[in-house]
């Protein structure tokens, strides 16, 4: 009888110990789960905080909610791809801007190519743009450079026409922020002269210019680069979606600094 009671006592002690061990394991497992949950909540909170900071920086940016007119050639129209892939559209979308695209393939800044079915130059067409805008971005010169390179126009004609365009834009948009973007550094006749003239004439009127030949990071002359970032391996003008993403930050920074 005493032996039976003793065995029952030992069994009770062992059962109690197992219960404590199980409880300790359960608490440990619960502690791990709580720690995991806390880490998840902390990560979510951090992500929300970062998003709030990012949103605040967008809401407070000078571009936010403004209207931008973008006029130009196929750099603006985006050639055979939707203009919604273009860097200037992406900037406008990020800052909730009212975006107007006045791009046309083949259009020049100065030279009239209507006889070739490429339309009137920006020198004339800018008058057709909406009169109300906070920003006016002019992207061109590529077709003018090729026009001069083929001997159809002169750099003097280009300079005189660009001077007139600058004066016209200032008169039409006296309160807007104006800016120009040059062509890429294309290794063909006419480009260096056109780009230098754009910098010179815009500088005369204190209009900011993004010199894409010097600051873009777009290596037009490199075949391997073109295969990745242009709309075709032999294309020297038109970025693809990946190319626009590559240039996006530089374009955004330029517009924010106007």
Q: Is the pLDDT of residue 38 over 90?
A: no
> What are phi and psi for residue 161, nearest 5 degrees?
-65, -40
In DSSP terms, 67 is beta-bridged to: 98
- Ranges of each domain in the chain: 1-60, 62-256
Mean pLDDT of the chain: 88
What would the pLDDT profile of 167-193 be if each residue is shown by its tens digit? 999 999 999 999 999 999 999 999 999
- Picking from 23, 110, 33, 39, the residue whose alpha carbon sits closest to that of residue 73 is 110
CATH number listed for the domain at residues 62-256: 3.40.50.1110
What would the pLDDT profile of 101-129 be if each residue is shown by its tens digit? 999 999 999 999 999 999 999 999 999 99
- pLDDT of the residue at 107: 98
- pLDDT of the residue at 202: 98
Q: How many secondary structure helices (H) and strands (E) does the chain include?
A: 10, 5
pLDDT band at 159 (very low <50, low <70, confident <90, very high): very high
- Give the residue, 145 or 31, on which the prediction is more confident: 145
- Give the residue, 67 or 53, on which the prediction is more confident: 67
Torsion, Cα of 155, 157, 160, 162 (10° steps): -70
- pLDDT of the residue at 55: 79
- Report pTM: 0.80
| Whether the Cβ atoms of residue 185 and residue 156 lie closer than 8 Å to each other | no
- pLDDT of the residue at 21: 46
């Amino acid at each position: 009888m005493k032996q039976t009671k003793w065995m029952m006592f030992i069994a009770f002690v062992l059962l109690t110990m197992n219960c404590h061990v199980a409880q300790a394991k359960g608490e440990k497992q619960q502690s791990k789960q709580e720690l995991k949950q806390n880490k998840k909540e902390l990560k979510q909170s951090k992500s929300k905080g970062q998003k709030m900071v990012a949103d605040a920086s967008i809401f407070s940016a000078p571009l936010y909610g403004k209207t931008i007119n973008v006029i130009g050639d196929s750099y603006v129209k985006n050639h055979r791809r939707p203009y919604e892939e273009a860097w200037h559209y992406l900037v406008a979308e990020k800052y909730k801007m009212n975006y107007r695209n006045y791009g046309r393939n083949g259009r020049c800044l100065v030279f009239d190519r209507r006889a070739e079915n490429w339309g009137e130059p920006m020198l004339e067409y800018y008058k057709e743009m909406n009169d109300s805008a906070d920003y006016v971005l002019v992207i061109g010169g590529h077709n003018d450079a090729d026009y001069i390179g083929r001997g159809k126009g002169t750099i003097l004609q280009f300079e005189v026409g660009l001077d007139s365009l600058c004066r016209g834009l200032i008169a039409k948009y006296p309160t807007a922020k104006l800016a120009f973007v040059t062509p890429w550094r294309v290794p063909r006749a006419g480009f260096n002269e056109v780009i230098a003239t754009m910098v010179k004439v815009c500088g005369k009127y204190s209009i900011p210019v993004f010199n894409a030949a010097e600051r873009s990071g777009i290596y037009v002359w490199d075949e391997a680069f073109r295969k990745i970032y242009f709309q075709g391996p032999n294309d020297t003008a038109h970025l693809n979606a990946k190319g626009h993403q590559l240039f996006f930050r530089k374009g955004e920074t330029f517009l924010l600094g106007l």
